[in-house]
Chains A and B, each alone.
Chain A
Amino acid sequence: MTTIAPEKVEVGKSLLGESVPRKEDRRLTQGQGVFVDDIKRHGMGYLHFVRSPYAHAHITSIDVSKAEEIKGVYGTLTGEEVASLTDPFFQIASEPGGRIKDFSLAVGKVRFVGEPIVAVVAETRELARDASELVEVEYEPLDALVDARHALETDAPVLHDDAGGNLMWEGVYEWGDLDQAFAEADQVIKIDELHFHRFNSTPLECGGALVEYNRGTGQWTIHTNNQFPGFAAIMMGPAMRCGLDKLRFVTQDIGGGFGNKITSHPQLVTCCLLSRKLNRPIQWTEWRTDFHMSMSHGNERWFRDTEVAVKDDGTLLGFRTKALDDAGAWLRYEPLGGVIWAQVTPGMYRWRHIRVDFTQVATNKAPVSPNRGYSRMQHLWFTERVIDIVARELGLDPVDVRKRNYIRTEDMPYETPNGCIYDSGDYARMLDIALDLIGWDSMGEKRRDAESRGKRLGVGIGSTLDSGTNNFGQSRMINPELQFSGNNEVATVKLDIFGEIVVTLGTTPQGQGHETTASQVVAEILNCSLDDVHVRAGHDSYWNSHAGFSGTYASQFAVTGLSAVKGATEMLREEIKKLASVIFGGVPVEALELAEGGVRIKDNPEAFLPFMACGAIINANNAGLPEDLGVTLNCRYVYRPPFEVPDIERKFGNLTLTYAAQIHVAVVEVDPETGYYDIVDYAAVDDCGKRINPQIVEGQVMGATAQAIGAVMHETFEYDEDGNLLTPNFYDYHVPHALDMPPLHTGAIESPSPFTPLGTKGMGEGGGAGIHAVCAAIQDATGKIVTDSHNPYHRVWELMR
């Protein structure tokens, strides 16, 4: 493993930019984390779901009586009960998808294999599972729709009669002047069909919750690993006909999320209803097979009839394509994927004329939800495929085509054709570093060496963006009725009675080290040691440190979370000075500074007030303080990024605040006899602006790389023609293990964002760079155009036939 880090400019000793060890690790390396399944309550019942064995069927009858008769079974819940106790979930979609009626359990009909129909609660996990087998469900099977490309045909089975067909959402995005671009073009490159496959990040911990209902207050406490409680709350409250104050979300440690734990609100509603019905805490932990069958697949997408307008020298003018997106059976976060991709409309390139006809349909497969790189990854894979296909058709070097067309550092901040503002970056330099890391100069030799061993060597580039900090106003492009815009995050920082600095975050980290990086920011501002800063682990909506968009998703903590921490800590610093100014008998605040765990008068080492004294005075010894002091030492700050509501008509505006970049280069060796290939070398270069903790950033880059390698080589949620999932567990769904990892070189540059308080950019998703790079490398090695994002060995073999 090689690492190239940017040069450091030393300006005094700063904690920002130091790879300090993580605060979280002490508990996690000792098995003392608290994950959701670790939480237990007296008398709790274990929930198990009865799931559909059919992809598409009418439910003609349900009989739970045999299950309920068993000793130790506490009770059940059916779809019919859900339909009377709750309202359908609010739909983000406008017409026609907006008309579908989605409940937490199937009502009247099942629409994918694994869909929950009945919930059974019993004294033990095993008993709940056994009893669920005694639930009798009669079905009338219907034809299943598995291939989204047939969804809009007149004889296709229809999932949702309410929607009048399988079309869920469609929209046309067009910017620039396509006619002019194609008229100016020397060549028009046509690509019939590109396919981005279905997979997800499969966090090692599956979904789960422990839900308690308090009869006295009518409130539910939901211990869960849902990673976006703000979203779950706005889905659940209206459906359950209760105010959001009745839903308390608590998380501590979460075993990976990657977006896949955003849409567990249906299961949480079921747990809530049962805890009230049975008057006992409900414990639900999903089994791996359940997770694979029913939660959060990534969006499968086709790009059809693509046309690219180019000059002979490789200058890209524009493209048009028809994107067809498979949402699965329900719209649980969709059709937001129908606009999220537009954050990175031109990818990293300067083409100005772009048209995408976006269509999203329902199929009899598990519902999709955000998955690391959500919706942008699909689009960025497409743009990278286009670049390599164009280069091949024009006989040009993919490196040259990229460099010719990359948005240049002198163009930054750069306004894209659809109004997004790329804040900073130097893509060409990143590519040079990445190429250096894999020894680009000696590639000819390596090719010959591979050939001498009967192998074919290929090099591929993946250039991607990790757009972060959403402007939720973009949701109005898919439904003008929606009243969302902007973004926000909250932190509180207080000085407690013995001088403890206590920080609460609105976020729900799943391994991103928020306790550590937040401490770095606080300690830097208060000029104290990291050990003095105590960041509460996890999220609790009782803490008053959250806002509507709180959570951990979509590459934003380094911007939203840390800016909130910075704001709150600066407020606290000013309050401490204000208090000290009074205590020191009216010394002006400008004459004060924070240092060594207290506040002091500059140039007077005698006059020192430790934080402990400040905390004690305000909290417990405050008689005689001036009435108008206005100091609580308990500061709450809401960070709100500078956004405007986008222009819905033109589909134009800045959709995210920051645009981190990643450039990956993969080197593969393909065996032409069998299609087997190895990644023999790999480089990942990252630019996420100012890095608060480079080691944590590098960890995110590595994780995203591993997931991308898994996706391109092995991982796929594939269904047979009847709608059975062929990869419902880790046996069939191969995720990379220790022996699968190629050699890795990492590098980084820092182009601070001019738009964020700390110069940081959100990062972590990685934009699927590894998928793009490996696809390109296979194309280079085989000389055949790669049209699919999933390339197991047999597909490579077929490619070469």
Chain B
Amino acid sequence: MNVAVTVNGTVYERDVEARKLLIHFLRDDIDLTGSHIGCDTGNCGACSVILDGTLVKSCMVLAVQANGSKVETVEGLADGEQLTALQQAFTDHHALQCGYCTPGMLMSATSLLRSNPSPSDEEIRKALQGNICRCTGYWNIFEAVKSVAR
């Protein structure tokens, strides 16, 4: 099936199998390997992207469902060399170790801060509960997000 998906502002047209997952489309078909895969049950959030303004787990969406949509991934966050405040905060607060969960975490936190620029501690935790990190214990991630909340 032919799909046209706008990812980080660029339109990609590809012929995909109907059963192809959006995460595999991103990673294998258009080679945007920043979004990751950490599970096969929709639990880990490593694949989180923003689809038409809504945070989704891209392993739970078919590529064909994204036809005609706009997708934002971690690769689209920075403006050239200029990191977003959140990306910078992740470094400043040591909110990543292996970095495998980081793209998904950044997308979830980005989505949170768009809809709620001043989240409480509890709201930050709730917004990130769908993203598993096995390295950091989350504490530094909370600090990083808090530091850019207004």
Contacts and interface: CB of A to CB of B under 8 A. Distances in A.
A511 interface: yes
Given A126-B19, A730-B132, A695 B94 contact: yes
A632 interface: no
B32 A31 contact: yes
A30 B32 contact: no
A21 B41 contact: no
A29 B94 contact: no
- Residue from A204, A288, A706 with most neighbouring chain B CB atoms (10 Å): A204
Interface string B30-49: 01111111111101101000
A617 to B, nearest CB: 33
A28 B17 contact: no
Given A205-B100, A254-B98, A512-B97, A29 B87 contact: yes
Interface in B12-30: 17, 19-20, 24, 27-28
B133 A21 contact: no
Nearest to A700: B97
A1 interface: yes
Contacts of A201: 134
B58 interface: no
Contacts of A788: none
A789 interface: no
Nearest to B38: A204
A735 interface: yes
- Main DSSP-derived SS at the A contact region: loop
Interface residues of B, number: 59
Contacts of A567: none
A741 B39 contact: no
A362 interface: no
A735 B99 CA distance: 18
Contacts of B132: 204, 730, 735, 737
A738 B131 contact: yes
A255 B138 contact: no
- Main DSSP-derived SS at the B contact region: loop
A21 B92 contact: yes
A203 B134 contact: yes
B83 A30 contact: yes
Given A37-B27, A695-B94, A31 B133 contact: no
A287 B39 CA distance: 7
A731 B41 contact: yes
- Residue from B24, B97, B124 with most neighbouring chain A CB atoms (10 Å): B97
A739 B125 contact: yes
B74 interface: yes
A202 B75 CA distance: 26
A125 interface: yes
Given A729-B39, A730-B41, A25 B137 contact: no
A255 B40 contact: no
B37 A25 contact: no
A21 B87 CA distance: 13
A26 B33 CA distance: 16
A30 B78 contact: yes
A724 B84 CA distance: 46
Given A256-B100, A703-B136, A126 B17 contact: yes
Interface string A190-223: 0000000000011111100000000000000000
A511 B33 contact: no
Contact of A510 (B19, B35, B98, B136): B98
Given A31-B75, A737-B131, A741-B125, 18 more contacts: A22-B94, A26-B83, A29-B83, A30-B34, A30-B74, A32-B34, A35-B100, A203-B100, A204-B133, A206-B38, A253-B98, A255-B38, A288-B38, A510-B97, A511-B98, A705-B137, A735-B134, A744-B139
26 contacts: A1-B139, A25-B91, A27-B99, A29-B91, A29-B99, A30-B83, A30-B87, A31-B103, A32-B75, A34-B33, A35-B33, A201-B134, A253-B100, A255-B36, A255-B98, A289-B40, A511-B96, A511-B98, A511-B135, A703-B134, A706-B136, A735-B134, A736-B138, A738-B142, A741-B125, A741-B137
The 8 closest A-B pairs by CB, nearest first: A31-B34, A28-B99, A255-B100, A706-B137, A511-B98, A511-B97, A31-B74, A730-B43
